[in-house]
Structures are given as structure tokens and as C-alpha cells.
Amino acid sequence: MTDGIILIDKPADMTSFGVVARIRRVLSEQAGKKVKVGHTGTLDPFATGLMILCAGKECKNAGHYTKLDKVYEATIRLGRTSSTGDPEGEITDMNDNQPSHDDIDVVLNTFKGEITQTPPIYSAIKIGGHRAYDLARQGKAVEMPSRKVTIYSLDVIDYTYPNLKIRTQVSSGTYIRSLAQDIGSALGTGAYCTQLRRVSVADWNVADAQTLSEFGVDS
């Protein structure tokens, strides 16, 4: 196939661009020519789950897929913060206050609906033509513009302190790392995201996606 969409279950510890490059290589080898491939929304290297890739002529419709609602499952570690909002950053102990289940429910309810969110400085958003994460890694001050996003649902899957596992349906542009940090701030414990999995994009589900090895990627 050289035109259309491809559903891939992204593994952890790989960039979204790395996934694209591997799929492009397989398709190009099969077609005997270079095939254009692009993604429709990055997943952080530590994250797993559904990526919708566009190949060939379908790349012109990538913007449509990017704007669709998404469902994530995430594990949030309370009592600590991370400079990046994920396991790859500098981890700082905050406190060992243990919120009750009721405390959790009250706080999560405050995030449902339309909220204002500030994306993490370690993100692919462009500031003055440069990726925010590149500026942050250079030690430069990064001022991230806030944005309106919508949290359609936010439910607890499991809570055993210090780990809070949630499932949430969100609008395009929502950063789950920022949501985790904001939840920790509201609870007074601090928090960061230790695991993140994109379960679905609109009606496409990760259960229907292929792993890289199933697609034919060797490494």
C-alpha cells in the first residue's frame, strides 16, 4: 500500500519520527520507490499506543486526523514532580501526603469540561520557529502560550497510592503530561506521568493497530 492510512501501536522508548522512518523504509522497499509517510500527532518517546500514519496521497489529509478527539490511559505518580512531566526528567520528591479516594474524585471533577492548559516546555510546539524542547534543552527561557482544551471524561481506573491510573477522553491539543502535573498541583502533592497509552483516535482503536514487527519492521 502506498496511499492511505496505517494504524500502528507505537512501542515505548521510540520517537514518533522514528516510527515514521521505519514505516517509510518498509513501504519504500515494497514499492521500489520512495513513499511519503507522515504522522498525525506525536506521542512522547515514553508513551505507547495508537498512531495514525498517512501514506502517499493521503498525507494531504493529515490535518483532518490531527484534529480528532483522543482517549488515553495514564498512570500518574503522586508525591513527586518531574522537570519534563514524565520519567525522562529530573525527579523531585515533594511530600508523602496521601489523598483519599474522595479527594481524588473532587479534584478530577474540576478538570472536566473546557479548561485552560499550558503545554509542557519539553514539547514539539514551535516557539519563534524553534521546537520548545530544543530551546529548553539549551537552557533558554521558554514561555509557553496557554490554550483552551476540552476534557470530555476523566475517570479513575485504579488508585493505590502513590499511583493513580486514569482514563480520559480529550480534545486535540491536550497534553496529558500537563494534566497530570495540574492534578498533582491541585491535590497539593505534585505529580508526573509515569505511563501513557493512546487508546483511540475518534473511532480508530489501538486494538486494530499493528505492531512494528507485524508490519514488517526488523528493528
- Can you give the CATH number for the domain in which 25 is found? 3.30.2350.10
pLDDT of residue 53: 97
Give me the residues of the chain with pLDDT under 50, please.
none
- Whether residue 41 is found in the same domain as residue 130: no
182 in catalytic set: no
Kind of pairing between the strands at 191-201 and 48-55: parallel
Reading the block at residue 44, the C-alpha cell is: 512522547
Whether residues 36 and 19 fall in one domain? yes
Are residue 136 and residue 189 in the same domain, yes or no?
Answer: yes
Separation of alpha carbons 78 and 193, rounded Å: 9
pLDDT of the residue at 73: 98
- Residues 123-144: tens digit of each pLDDT: 666 666 666 666 556 666 666 6
- Count of domains forming the chain: 2
Write down the pLDDT at residue 83. Answer: 87
159 contacts: CB under 8 Å, gap ≥ 6: 101, 104, 165
Do 164 and 80 fall within a single domain?
yes
Domain extent, residue 38, equals 4-67+203-215
What's the predicted TM-score (pTM) here?
0.90
Structure confidence at residue 110 (pLDDT): 97
pLDDT value of position 122: 62
Q: Which of 44, 93, 208, 218 is catalytic?
A: 44
Do 183 and 210 lie in a common domain? no
Are residues 187 and 108 located together in one domain of the fold?
A: yes
- Per-residue HEC secondary structure of 139-160 comes to CCCCCCCCEEEEEEEEEEEEEE
103 plus 23 within the same structural domain: no
Residue-wise pLDDT tens digits, 27-41:
999 999 999 999 998
**Same domain membership, residue 150 and residue 53:** no
